[in-house]
Each structure stands twice: as structure tokens, then as C-alpha cells.
Structure 1
Amino acid sequence: MAFDETYDVVVVGGGNAGFSAAVSAAQSGARVCLIEKAPLDDAGGNTFYTAAAFRCCFDGLQDLLPHIYQADGTKGLPEELVARIDMKPYTKADFHADIKRVTKGRANPALTDVLVEYSREAVQWLMDNGARFTLSFNRQAYVVDNKYKFWGGMVLTMAGQGRELFNFHLKTARKHGVEVYFRTAAVDLIAAPGTNKVAGVGVLSHGKGRTIGARGGVILACGGFQASPALRSQYLGPGWDLAHVRGSKYNTGDGHRMARKLGARLEGNYSGCHSVAWDGNSPRASGNRDMTNQYTKSGYPLGVMVNVNGKRFVDEGFDLRNFTYAIFGKEILKQPQGIAFQVWDADGSKLLRKEEYADDVTTNLRAESIDELADILVTKGLNNKKQFLDTIAEFNEACKNFQREHPRVHFDPSVKDGMSTQGTTRSLDIGKTNWAMPIEKGPFQAVEVTCGITFTFGGLAVTPAAEVLSEATFEQIDGLWCAGELLGGLFWDNYPGGSGLTMGTVMGRIAGKEAAKRASQHLMNEAAMQ
């Protein structure tokens, strides 16, 4: 076939998964091209906007310490700081159990096995390529008894978060000879004549159409459809066109469309997505490249959330934040006007992350009394002050009743502490299972939140080798792979925090190696025919 240019491997999408695929293919000896439809100054996909936490199995603190950097870029941690760290190993059994629990057992077992088995190797590969990781002191640890007690299994964060993760990937790709084309949108997959074998991709680059051949094949890593209000409404349901987009505005379902046109099988939770409590004053159609992940509002386990009618609507403490933050955006969207208020007293406020709740990040509403706070909330949309005050009063009394009945249970934000509203003689219709402390000590604080959608869970059906499957035959489509948020079947309704980036790297690496192998075989066959 005649193409304008030809590579061994073509990768579509310039986020964590796409670059992991491109670099892995290049390290396997392939000549690689990566195309990204965003311009450079708006590139990086959802990766740019992430907090860059990676979930992986590890054997304890000593397993990670040789690879850890401090915030200032110094490698290694001071001995006195190491002595204050309380960190349990995160085993393969732990990871499997977390995925099974939060997806209610629906996660594709084969994909789950791949993610868990290769999670530590994938993170180590990033480290070996120069990625600098820090321990998530500010995000995943609380100081308890003068120790940094890490919780939830997710302890690693890329230094500099998503912005630095993208810059690292771009630098690494260029170092390994990957040709990166920005402002280049994939419009069609090209199959060899008379077959369904993927031979290349048609693109629109800087306003001009051209074709790019791929001897080994094409790897789709161009994200979900969360930035398309029409597709959100079609698949997620009515009202989802009102959700705020947390990340890239370019993730509009291109990969789904192109692969489906070639007969790819769709799989997974098409009515589900990753959605969080997001700043009510954030942009609607895309993330903010300066604020990136700071619009997240994940401090709800330390207080309560109420809707504009003044009523609580979720159990803010039924699990650790890592396992609830991706589903509460959906619950907020269900509320009147699609907004809610997070509320804390002075004790809860002092534990909030400055990264998300500092005054230069969000609009904090404060008052010395809960009655005064209610008056402020009325100006922001609260339409039933009395119900709000009754909700807080009932919550406080339920907390105190539980404490009277269970004097040996104590507040500990680093574990599911059992501090509940559900006692023997008094309980709430919607209880708070953990970290239930009365909201009664001024000053009081609140913020307005809405639903921020991160990525969609429905995607392409793939094998454990990242090969895209055909709807007609249930067999692989020769020359087509998939990685990242376009992959379907793994996450259902929820996901363990940090596992999305890890899966992107795991499957991206697999796809890159497989495509490079196919390209090598193609060249060998051509040589044999000459």
C-alpha cells in the first residue's frame, strides 16, 4: 500500500499509556511515531491533569526507599524521617481484593491479573527510565502518634504530578527516537486491501490530510469519551451533559469511533465512569492547566456533604477516600441542581489538604457559628436553612450517642476507625460508617462542589496482550492494540485510586512490545520474499 510515510509502529494518543507504548516499542527496536491531536501547549491528555499517583504492589518501605526522591529533587529520605514512617506492604492479594471489592466482582479477571502481576514492574520501568517518585505524605498519610501512617495502599506519586509526568514521557520518547506529531488527529484506521488487518492510519495534521503506514500496527491510546457531552448523555444517561470535565477536552471518543468502524467489539461499563467531587467554580468543558488536579475536593470523609435541600445523601465514611472518591461525583450530579456543599468544623478543617482547600485554590465559606454558615450557604443556593440545621444537629447527636455507647473507639483518619453514627439506641437513615465526629466547634467551613468527570469506563474489548477483539469473530483484529482509558472491561462503577495510570503503563508496555515484534516479523517476511 502507498502511504505518505511509514513507521514500524504508530501510537495514537499522547498521554501516559500512549507514551508508555511508544517508548516500549522504541526500546524493542521499532521505528515509532506518536500522533496527538492537541497542540503542544495543550497536550498531555488526562495525564497532564492527574495527581500522578500510581498504585502497585510492594514489599514494604524498604522495597521503595532506594527509588524515592524528596520534594526538592534530592534522592533519598533523611533517616529521622524514615524512622517516622509507618507503611505496610501492599500485596498482590491486597490489590486483587481491592479491585474485586470496589468493582463488585465485575472486573475482567484476566485484565485484573495482568494489572496486579505487572504493577510493580511497570512502576520500576518508569523509575529506571528516569521518572522521579515521591512518597505521598500530603495525600496518603496522616500523622498518628508522631508517625506518618500511610493508608489505602497507594503510596507513590510522580514528583511534580501530571505536568511533570507528561514532560518526563515526552523527553523519554524523544530520547529514544520516537517521532511525536502534535496537532495531528487520527480520523480513520486503514486496513490492508481485502483484509481486516490494520496497516496504518489516516490523519488530519495542521489542517491537511495524509496517511501513515504502520508495519507492526497501530496502538490506540486516545482516551475515553468523557469530553463529549453528547456521548456522555448517550451512554451515561440524562444529566451527564452537565458534568464538568476534569481533564483534556480532546478525549471525545475518537478511538471508539475508529475501532468500531473496523468492527471492534465494545466492552465494559458504558454507563459508568470515574467522577469526583469537583470544585463548583471550576471550568465546565475542560480542566485548568494551571490548577490541574487542585479542583478535586476529597476532604468529605472528615465532614459531611449536604445538597441544596440541606440533606445528606451519601455515607461519607463507608470506605477510605481512595475507594470512594471516584463514585461520589455521580451522587452529587443526582442532587438538585447537580451541586452539594461539603461542611466541616474546626477540627475537620485542620486536616484538609492545602493543595485542594487553600484560599487561593477554592472559595472557602467560613463562619463562627453553624447558623451563620447556613446564612452564607443560602446565598450560594441552599434553599432550606432549617433542614440544614436539623441535619447537622441530628448528625451531631448520633455521633455523641455512638461515642457514649462505644467509649473505646477513637478517631483515626488513617484507618477505617469504626467511629459511626449508627448506635444501638440512635441511628441515622443515611449513616456515616467511619470518622463520624460532631460538627460543633467553630469556626465552620464549607465549599460548593459539583460532579467532575475524569474518564469513562466503557471501551474496547482486549486480550491480556492488549490486542483489540473483533465483534464478529471474538478474535483479535490483526495489527490493532489498545491501552489506557480506551480499554474496557476492567473498571466497573468504581476503581481503586491510582490503578488507572498503572494500567496505562502496564498495557502500554505490552502493546508496544507486541507491535514492535509484529513489525520485526513483517520486515523478516519482506526480506525472505526478495
Structure 2
Amino acid sequence: MSKSVVVVGSGNAALCAGIAALEAGARVLMLEKGDEALAGGNTKYTAGAMRFAYDGNADLIPLLRDPEDDRLPVTEFGSYTADAFAHDLLGFNDGRPLSPEQEVLIARSGDTMTWLAGHGVKFDPIYSRQSFEKDGRHVFWGGLTLAAANEGVGLFDMEMAAFQRLGGKIRYEAAVTDLIHENGRVAGVMVGSEEIRADAVILACGGFEANAEMRASYIGADWTKAKVRGTPLNTGDGLTMALAAGAQEYGFFGGCHATPMDLHMADYGNLEIPHGARKNYRKICYFLGVMLNARGERFVDEGINFRNYTYAQFGRAVLEQPGHFAWQIFDAKVFDLLYEEYTFEDAHFVSADTLADLIPLLDGVDPAAAAATLEAYNDAVDESTPFDPTALDGKGTTGLALAKSNWAQRLNEGPFRAYPVTGGITFSYGGLKVDQTGAVLDTSEAAIPGLYACGEMVGGVFYNGYPGGSGLTSGAVFGRQAGAGAAQGG
């Protein structure tokens, strides 16, 4: 008789777990805390980008929604090897070697993308955010090339369609409140007073990013002020239930995926904003300008690396500034390079024809200090090196205590714009330890029978930062692992 599997959650990781379990012959019931509109966890709020190892164009074409796109013959995707992926992850590990979870993520990333494509989950090249036109060609940079067709909502829709094609069932407004323990194993879940029995339970219900008390406890008091980029429903329920069942805390609980966000956005993400703005008010073009805090000072090297490798750290840096905010300042030279989230109707900014007129509009900022900082920055820009947004161009500053290492251009061409930002949290890094089947391990390193986890629930994947696009890939890799493991092991 086929195994029965309950999946808690309905985002990317949950759906990949469900698809894999169904493939392995299990009967799968998915339980979603929210209503149908809020289903999908954080997945719907993402831009749908997925980072994975590949050797060249030939590896990508089979994954595309439109393999006949007339831009492809003049597109240079480059390659992104397993070694490059490892290098990027190590850059955020604070001296730690690759964790076992990171090694799994790298090794299975490409195959998991092929597996998704085989289930009708198709992708588009990220021309608008990950490439620049150069000498008549589309040149991709940073190793991140593809996003799900129709971004995060499209990823959810395609994965849900695959799940249901295979016979998976889902119930909405069915918040799991406890695990059922019987004969030394997890034997199902409680939805309020209702018992739902199963051979295996997969926790795929996100981290604790929407729980201010847990953010403060694990990450720090500043994080009570963070905007939540995604769903309000990821309040650490799965983590709490698993720890109560004897699971071990694992990974870096003091870290999280963060990003600079519009200061005036709502406290949580908004699925009702237009398709092109589903990046949810994030503001990650700081590398094209400068950021000032309330003291009128720059506080990060805005051009230290491609934004794929800095926005998770810079979101934290913004939140930890006085007043938990900063201003991003640009001049007219880069307006056409700003991503669409800077231009949609809900984007907040101030503008002026001169820097002198802009500075008094920077609410909460010391104007004299801001003027001095911007003057010193302009004077320090290297004018002999050409600006090239497709590469680490070395166009930096000289003589500043805090350099801008790349893409430094003088702010000297009006009009000027400034965007107020704060720190937003996407997901937490700390979680549970799982084995090679996705089974949750207890404090003695033994598998808890019948209990599996994936997605944000898995610790050890990220530490002090995050190469963009890795989160969705991690969810898919560990979701697929947990689904297969639950169906086969029960």
C-alpha cells in the first residue's frame, strides 16, 4: 500500500516535496495555513530567480519557456560552474568551510532545475536585471541567468499545476497546530482539534521571519523594526513544533536574508501590486549611486561587488543605521539603469534639479554632513576608468575612508533622485538539521521517525549572506529530497 504523506505549507519547497513524494508513489495531502489567496508562502513574493550550476547556453535552452527567443543567438550567458557556486557561498561563510547542506545544494542544483522543467516548470532569461547590452550582445553577469516565467507567482502556479496533475490534494485555512506522536514516531498532525494521520509529515512552512518576538530573540532587537518582504504567515510554527519534538537547532540563527526596502512600504509584502513590482518594494540599485544614513554618512562600499552578493548584507546594514533608515541617491546618468521597482507608482522618492536642492529633502538626515559627504565623494571619483555595469569595472574612489570600489560616477547630472529605504527580512537562516533523506535529526543526531523538513526549515545552508537566487534553488533541492525520503521511508 502506498505511503500517506502530509506536507505542511504550500510554497516552492512544499510543492517540490509534494511532487517528489507523488512521483515515488505516495498519497499526498498539503495543508496550508492561509486561504487560497495567501497560499504559496514566500514564493509568490519573489522575483522567481534561481541560481544553479551550468556549463553554458546548451544547459539552459531546455529549461526555457521560449527556446526560440530571437535574442538567444546574441546572448552570452557564460557559465556558472560548481566551483564558482562554491566560491560564492564561501564568500559568506565567515571562514567556515562548505557545510554539508551547501555541498548538497551545489551538487543537485542543476539536476533539480532539469527535474522541474520536466514537470512543466519553465524559465525565462533575466534580461531586465541580470544582463546589459554591450556591443550589440546581451551579456549576463553574476552567474544568475534564469527566473521562473511570471516570476514567483508563475513558479507557484506551475509547481501547483504539476502537484495536482500527479494527484496531490491541498486544503486551505488548515493551520497545523501540533504533531501527533505515537509509538515513538510522528504519526500525523493536528489541525486545531482535528487529527490527520499520515506515515510521514514534511514541515515546509517557512522560517520565523514574520514573528517579531522570535526575530528579536534570535537576530537582535533592531529586527523588530524590519519590514517583512513576504507573507505574514511564516511565524516559526514548524520550527517550534519540531523543537518540541526533540529536533536540534541547527545553522546560523543570528543571520537572515535581508534587503533594502522602501521605507514607506507596508509592514508585510503585497501581492496586489502590479506584476512588474512583485519584487515587493526592494531597492537594490544602490551600486549605481550612494547611500547616506541619518548622520549624512556613507556606511557601506556600495560597489564592493555585484549586487547579487551584497544586498542581503546591505539590508541588514541599513536596518542597523540610526533610525533604521537610509537614502539612496542617484543622478540622471543612471535613471535608465534603475530596476522597475524604482519607477512603479508606489515607489517613494524625492527629486530636485541640483544636489543642493535635493539635500534638504532628505528627511531625517543632517544636511551639512550630507553635503560634505557628497562633495568629498564627487571629488574622489576616478574619472580615468570607464564605467561598465557588466563587470567589476574598477572605477572607484581614492582618498576616502570608505571607498566605493566599482561603478563610482560623480553625482553631477541633474535631475537627482533620492529613495528612502529601510531593512526588510525575507527569510531566516537558522533551522533544523536533516539527513540525506530530509529526515529531521534530534539532538543525538538520530532521525525522528516520520518527520521531514525542507525549505527555510533547513539550517546550515546560509550564514553571513546569500548569493541571489540561491533560496528558491535550496527550497527545490531540499524539497525534492524530503519528498522522496518521506515517500520511501515513511
TM-score by length of 1: 0.89
Deviation at residue 108 of structure 1 after TM alignment: 5.1
Count of aligned positions: 486
Secondary structure in 2 aligned to 1:189?
strand
- Could you list the per-position Cα deviations for residues 430-451 of structure 1 after superposition, in whole angstroms to 9, with x for gaps in the alignment? 1111111111111111111111
Counterpart residue type for residue 219 of structure 1: I
Question: Which residue of 2 is the match for residue 157 of structure 1?
Answer: 147
Deviation at residue 333 of structure 1 after TM alignment: 0.9
Tell me, yes or no, if structure 1 residue 484 matches structure 2 residue 476: no
Deviation at residue 7 of structure 1 after TM alignment: 6.3
Structure 1 residues 314-393: aligned runs within 5 Å:
314-354=300-340, 356-377=341-362, 380-382=363-365, 384-393=366-375
Give the aligned CA root-mean-square deviation in angstroms. Answer: 1.5
Question: Which residue of 1 is the match for residue 136 of structure 2?
Answer: 146
**Percent identical across equivalent pairs?**
39
Question: Which residue of 2 is the match for residue 419 of structure 1?
Answer: 395
Unaligned runs of 5+ in 1: 1-5, 520-530
Deviation at residue 286 of structure 1 after TM alignment: 4.2
Structure 1 residues 370-519: aligned runs within 5 Å:
370-377=355-362, 380-382=363-365, 384-399=366-381, 402-403=382-383, 407=384, 409-422=385-398, 427-471=399-443, 473-519=444-490
Tell me how far apart the structure 2 counterparts of residues 131 and 285 of structure 1 sit (CA, whole Å).
27
Deviation at residue 287 of structure 1 after TM alignment: 3.9
Deviation at residue 124 of structure 1 after TM alignment: 1.1
Tell me, yes or no, if structure 1 residue 199 matches structure 2 residue 187: yes
- Could you list the per-position Cα deviations for residues 267-303 of structure 1 after superposition, in whole angstroms to 9, with x for gaps in the alignment? 1111111110001111114444425314110100000
| Partners of 1:106 and 1:492 within 8 A in 2 | no
Residues 107, 445 of structure 1: alpha-carbon distance in 2 compared, 3 angstrom cutoff? farther
Secondary structure in 1 aligned to 2:221?
coil
Question: Which residue of 2 is the match for residue 526 of structure 1?
Answer: none
Tell me how far apart the structure 2 counterparts of residues 101 and 338 of structure 1 sit (CA, whole Å).
26
- Could you list the per-position Cα deviations for residues 481-500 of structure 1 after superposition, in whole angstroms to 9, with x for gaps in the alignment? 11001111110020111111
| Partners of 1:107 and 1:492 within 8 A in 2 | no
Deviation at residue 329 of structure 1 after TM alignment: 1.2
Question: Which residue of 2 is the match for residue 13 of structure 1?
Answer: 9
- Could you list the per-position Cα deviations for residues 89-125 of structure 1 after superposition, in whole angstroms to 9, with x for gaps in the alignment? 1111111111111223436521111111110111111
Question: Which residue of 1 is the match for residue 215 of structure 2?
Answer: 232
Tell me how far apart the structure 2 counterparts of residues 385 and 487 of structure 1 sit (CA, whole Å).
45
Tell me, yes or no, if structure 1 residue 210 matches structure 2 residue 210: no
Secondary structure in 2 aligned to 1:506?
helix
Counterpart residue type for residue 158 of structure 1: A
Secondary structure in 1 aligned to 2:129?
helix
Counterpart residue type for residue 349 of structure 1: F
Unaligned runs of 5+ in 2: none
Tell me how far apart the structure 2 counterparts of residues 65 and 151 of structure 1 sit (CA, whole Å).
18
Question: Which residue of 1 is the match for residue 103 of structure 2?
Answer: 113
Residues 285, 82 of structure 1: alpha-carbon distance in 2 compared, 3 angstrom cutoff? closer
Secondary structure in 1 aligned to 2:260?
strand
Query: Which of 86, 94, 110 is residue 96 of structure 1 equivalent to?
Result: 86
Residues 350, 292 of structure 1: alpha-carbon distance in 2 compared, 3 angstrom cutoff? closer
Secondary structure in 1 aligned to 2:419?
strand
Deviation at residue 235 of structure 1 after TM alignment: 0.8
Tell me how far apart the structure 2 counterparts of residues 39 and 308 of structure 1 sit (CA, whole Å).
40
Tell me, yes or no, if structure 1 residue 302 matches structure 2 residue 281: no
Counterpart residue type for residue 491 of structure 1: F
| Partners of 1:7 and 1:33 within 8 A in 2 | no
Secondary structure in 2 aligned to 1:102?
coil
Tell me how far apart the structure 2 counterparts of residues 108 and 482 of structure 1 sit (CA, whole Å).
21
Residues 513, 359 of structure 1: alpha-carbon distance in 2 compared, 3 angstrom cutoff? closer
| Partners of 2:45 and 2:280 within 8 A in 1 | no
Deviation at residue 146 of structure 1 after TM alignment: 2.3
Counterpart residue type for residue 415 of structure 1: A
Counterpart residue type for residue 20 of structure 1: C
Question: Which residue of 2 is the match for residue 278 of structure 1?
Answer: 261
Secondary structure in 2 aligned to 1:83?
helix
Tell me how far apart the structure 2 counterparts of residues 18 and 105 of structure 1 sit (CA, whole Å).
32
Tell me how far apart the structure 2 counterparts of residues 489 and 299 of structure 1 sit (CA, whole Å).
29
Residues 213, 359 of structure 1: alpha-carbon distance in 2 compared, 3 angstrom cutoff? closer
Counterpart residue type for residue 102 of structure 2: T
Tell me how far apart the structure 1 counterparts of residues 77 and 466 of structure 2 sit (CA, whole Å).
22
Residues 173, 359 of structure 1: alpha-carbon distance in 2 compared, 3 angstrom cutoff? closer
Question: Which residue of 2 is the match for residue 24 of structure 1?
Answer: 20
TM-score by length of 2: 0.96
Deviation at residue 86 of structure 1 after TM alignment: 1.9
Counterpart residue type for residue 389 of structure 2: P
Counterpart residue type for residue 69 of structure 2: L
Counterpart residue type for residue 192 of structure 1: E
Deviation at residue 76 of structure 1 after TM alignment: 2.2
Question: Which residue of 1 is the match for residue 228 of structure 2?
Answer: 245
Point out the structure with max Rg over C-alpha: 1
Tell me how far apart the structure 2 counterparts of residues 451 and 62 of structure 1 sit (CA, whole Å).
38
| Partners of 2:257 and 2:425 within 8 A in 1 | yes
Residues 286, 351 of structure 1: alpha-carbon distance in 2 compared, 3 angstrom cutoff? closer
Tell me how far apart the structure 2 counterparts of residues 210 and 105 of structure 1 sit (CA, whole Å).
47
Secondary structure in 1 aligned to 2:254?
coil
Deviation at residue 331 of structure 1 after TM alignment: 0.6
Q: Which 4+ stretches in 1 moved above 6 angstroms?
A: none
